[in-house]
Amino acid sequence: MRGLIMNHKQLLDSAYDRLLEMYGGDQTLMEVGFLNRFYQEKMILQECELYTRYLGFLGRVRKVAEEKGEHIFVRGTAGSSLIAYLLGATDINPLPRHDYCPNCHWVKFKGDGIPFDKDRLKCSCGADPIADGFNIPFESNLKSILSGYMQLTVSYAFFDEVEHMIRDEMWDQAIITLRNEDLTPTWFCFQDKEKNEDGNYILNGNSELFSKFPRITLVPDKTLDKYRELEKATGFKMKDIGTEEYSDAYFQFMEGNIEGIPMFDNCFMRELWTKLKPQSYDDMLKMIGFAHSTNVWRENAERIYDEHKMSLREIPAYREDLFNLIAQHLYKKGVYHTGLAYEVTEKARRGYYERVGGMDEETMLALFRLDIDQEYIFFLEKIHYMFPKAHGVAYLREAIRMMFYKNNFNQEYNKIILGK
Ligand SMILES: [Zn+2]
């Protein structure tokens, strides 16, 4: 088993090979932006062996899961990395939205459309073009990379096997395990084996002490067990939901048919739906970003929307929206480094400005000089937490798949997912 595991350099090489395979080729030149993105991430990952190792590991876990019909979700920030995508660690492509031909390798950018078209034309070579890309900047992943954090969610049925895989993968490290009786979540913290021994602790009361250690956090989720049950009962696997079925389910959403869809069928989302009248995939994605009690929407963006008539497109729902917004203003002023955008996003997304009672003057004046509206600054000062966009993408995809089952296998869906 261990013989098959690639080392750091091999992993980065294999990510590059995959990049060439997807977007390179003999007939056409690779998009400079894609190559640039790859090298930007590589530059950082070259210094972060542990994180690169996580990505290789995650790629293998996903493969095993697929073979066994298990579900895993990487709901955190790994979905923001191109190299993660190339290594199969995530199925969320962070590049700008685009179509490409897997044969001829041409790329066509799509702006803000939906990430799939109802009637896409075949390429002249006969192949179906692939629609991909969720436009997620690499910076939103930086914090996890540098601190060596990785989180993944698995079904209860798959939990033990993934735990074994973690122990097998990290054989050369001392592993300190922190968990409560109910397993949710379990931390596997890694330390130098020369100086430390393996250990087991209760998570409650100890998490602070171990919070700086690099770790993989494993979270079991019974929803994923239900997915498997649903696939078994219907004989239809989620991964076999094709573009056509997927877009049918999506258009059902557009009609507001959200009854019985987890994540959407609740008071908050219904109210939001009535108010915002989502018109596109991106609108729905934003709604997910506004959910939960993070103070992004309620008593905050809601006010900007009502009083200042800003459009949904202008209001950040995820940390990446915020980062892109500030970065765009920097570019307009001819500034091509994004340090300020990173700093402000990083602080706002974890509620720093809210906790310390506002933004410092220097930063505020810098944002004013970038012609950023004062309303945005008030907005940033109230946020408790902002989700990564990859999280929203994964949730929306799940919701669309649930819509498919609800429409096509209503009885099984009601019984297994809704429990009625
Ligand atoms: Zn083609």
pLDDT by residue (tens digit) across 123-165?
999 998 888 899 899 888 888 888 888 999 999 999 999 999 9
0.85 surpassed by pTM: yes
Mean pLDDT of 209-229: 93
The alpha carbon of 91 and the centre of ligand 1 are apart by a number of angstroms equal to 22
Report the share of the chain in percent with pLDDT over 70.
95
| CATH architecture, range 223-287+389-416 | Orthogonal Bundle (1.10)
Q: List all residues 6 or more positions away from 403 whose beta carbon is below 8 Å from its beta carbon.
A: 249, 250, 252, 253, 257, 261
Residues within 5 A (CB) of ion ligand 1: 101, 103-104, 123, 125, 127
pLDDT for the residue 111 = 73
pLDDT band, very low/low/confident/very high, at 256 (cuts 50, 70, 90): confident
* Strand locations in 32-80 (E): 72-73
The alpha carbon of 293 and the centre of ligand 1 are apart by a number of angstroms equal to 46
Is it the case that residue 1 has pLDDT exceeding 60?
no
Cβ atoms of 170 and 188 within 8 Å: the answer is yes
Cβ atoms of 93 and 132 within 8 Å: the answer is yes
The alpha carbon of 129 and the centre of ligand 1 are apart by a number of angstroms equal to 7
What are 85-130's pLDDT values in tens digits?
A: 999 999 899 999 898 898 888 998 887 656 666 666 789 999 988 8
User: Per-residue b/e over 289-318, b at no fewer than 16 CB within 10 Å?
Assistant: bbbeebbbbeebbbebbeeeebebebbbbb
Structural element, H or E, at residue 195: none
The alpha carbon of 118 and the centre of ligand 1 are apart by a number of angstroms equal to 19
Instruction: Return the SS3 of 170.
Output: coil
Neighbour tally for 95: CB within 10 Å: 22
Mean pLDDT of 9-13: 95
The alpha carbon of 1 and the centre of ligand 1 are apart by a number of angstroms equal to 37
The alpha carbon of 281 and the centre of ligand 1 are apart by a number of angstroms equal to 26
pLDDT for the residue 64 = 95
pLDDT for the residue 4 = 59
Mean pLDDT of 207-225: 92
Domain-wise residue ranges, the chain: 2-95+134-220, 223-287+389-416, 294-380
What are 316-362's pLDDT values in tens digits?
A: 999 999 999 999 999 999 999 999 999 999 999 999 999 999 999 99
Report the share of the chain in percent with pLDDT over 90.
66
Q: Write the CA distances from 244 to 248, 282, 355, 400, integer angstroms.
A: 6, 19, 46, 12
Mean pLDDT of 19-42: 89
Is it the case that residue 399 has pLDDT exceeding 80?
yes
pLDDT for the residue 27 = 63
pLDDT for the residue 128 = 87
Cβ atoms of 322 and 315 within 8 Å: the answer is no
pLDDT band, very low/low/confident/very high, at 3 (cuts 50, 70, 90): very low
